[in-house]
A and B are shown apart, each in its own frame.
Chain A
Amino acid sequence: MSDDHSDADDAPPIATDGGSSPSADDLDENVSHRFDRLAPTDAERTVEGRPSRATVLSWWEERFGIPPATFENHTFWEKGNGKLWVLAGDDADPSEVEAMGATVLRTRQEHWKPTTDAVQRFGHLATKNVIDLDLAEAERFAAGEDQDIERWDGDWGYLIAAHELPRETADDADGERAILGVGLYVHGELRSTVPKGRRRDL
């Protein structure tokens, strides 16, 4: 399984929550090669299957406890089928650009999957569904390996994996949480979703 769930891939086998996926006959189809801004709310959507900004903000809050205000100066965009991007500020017609900000979330599937880069950027604000790893576990995670971790008794599905690194000086015993990436937790196993290009032997 180790190569089946990088950021580039879809559809995890099992998870426990997800975004809404309403559809309506009077909505347009998504144009996959173009960036389109997410509508503010579900009621204002014009494209079938596209989540709204409100739904995305709710998802971060419900899944990880990350407050909606975190993204108050950001806009969200869809390009590709369900691939969402987060951009600081807003912008005009983005039809001729290759990237807008950073990829943030894979939607249009039962269980939404945040990207490694997004949780490394915003995951320090999470208050739940964060699994803290010891050094050996963190090293395996960073290398892209799956591992059995029986102690987790929280939700299954996509978790934020973290470890502690020392903060000030070496004689300061207290470390500070550092976000590693996204793990998929199922059946007592934590599967690393660190993309191949980000994996490191540490």
Chain B
Amino acid sequence: MHEVLERYRPIVDEFDAFAAAVERPLGKTVRVNTIKADVERVRAAFEDAGIAAEPTAWNPELLAVDTDGPGSTWPAFHGWIHSQEAVSTLPPIALDPQPGETIWDACAAPGSKTTQIAAMMDDEGRVVANDRNMGRLSALRFNAERLGVTNAIVTNRDARNYSLDPLAVDEFDRALVDAPCSGEGTLRKNPAALDSWSEGFLADVSGVQTDVLQRAIQATKPGGRVVYSTCTYAPEENETVLDRVLDAENCRIVEQELPIETRPGITEWDGTSFDPSVERAARIYPHLNDTGGFFVATLEVGA
């Protein structure tokens, strides 16, 4: 196990199971793109190619596929599937976007969640997909077009001071902040994920995460939902960010119903206590559902 993860021994129950799970490679999963196909059609096409594709127990549109290369199959060529890690499908599920709404995806590239949100909206309404990194935007645009998304507008700006001026709306109905993070939870698919890890990076990225989440709260209508997610275990990037935003903005953390086993957010770390409502956030450890590591919280903007 990577030595960085030792710092989580105090907060992870069954730490040995956790340590063992992060060593195992992650199985491949693909999300069925309901804009262009349905689960039955995709499964039939995989079956025709001799590839087993079984729906996961908690998400019928997420298929566990028995191949290392789902991208070189007919379903992929047709844009019927998108290779997506299981936990990566959770933030849009928590966000629950509705057809016709206007949704902000603040840190959208490479577009896995953007395209999932678009599909959940039946490609109606508006997804404003933003990313500060121009290079990664090309991957977002490629994925959106391959998957047949027509309701997305793509912008290339700093989410921290994002202006709605060029858009048709003054506020968003919902927003997703799938924040750039240290990526500790991705070790199972990328063993080099922590090679450049440092506590200094945690401090820097935590500030960016806080600023983007604050902007998302400000830009979303009263009563609207904002989902915050990362693929890291670090409390500096998770509960700390939530605690700061609760102090600074008119919002609250709400209960969320996620279809997998989770652990509550922690209320204390490194001698600092957090607002007790951070317990409503969800920590997802690899040994709980045989997935990558993840963190997701749902906030509601105050009236």
A residues within 8 Å of B by Cβ?
73-74, 86-103, 115, 117, 120-121, 142, 165-170, 176, 178-180, 197-198, 200-202
Contacts and interface: CB of A to CB of B under 8 A. Distances in A.
Nearest to B100: A89
Interface in B106-154: 123-126, 137, 141-142, 144-146, 148-154
Interface of B is mostly: mixed
Contacts of B141: 98-99
B167 A99 contact: no
Interface string B27-44: 000000001100011001
A126 B47 CA distance: 27
Contacts of A167: 40-41, 44
A35 B277 CA distance: 45
B181 interface: no
Nearest to B142: A197
Nearest to A115: B145
Contact of A92 (B40, B156, B166): B166
Interface of B: 35-36, 40-41, 44-45, 47-48, 71-74, 76-79, 123-126, 137, 141-142, 144-146, 148-157, 165-168
B77 A121 contact: no
Contacts, number: 112
A202 B41 CA distance: 18
Contacts of B144: 99, 102
A202 B220 CA distance: 44
Contacts of B157: 96
Q: Which of A87, A102, A115, A176 neighbours the largest number of chain B CB atoms within 10 Å of its CB?
A: A102
Given A117-B145, A120-B148, A121-B36, A170 B44 contact: yes
Contacts of A86: 150
Nearest to B128: A97
A98 B140 CA distance: 11
Contact of A99 (B48, B126, B154, B166): B154
Nearest to A94: B166
Given A165-B44, A200-B72, A201-B72, A121 B154 contact: no
Q: Which of B74, B77, B125, B142 neighbours the largest number of chain A CB atoms within 10 Å of its CB?
A: B77
Contacts of A100: 153-154
A198 B150 CA distance: 18
Nearest to A179: B78
Contacts of A142: 77
A87 B154 contact: no
B148 A121 contact: yes
Nearest to A172: B44
A202 B123 CA distance: 29
Contacts of A165: 41, 44-45, 48, 74
A3 to B, nearest CB: 18
A108 B78 CA distance: 28
Contacts of B44: 165-170
A77 to B, nearest CB: 11
Nearest to B123: A88
Nearest to A199: B77
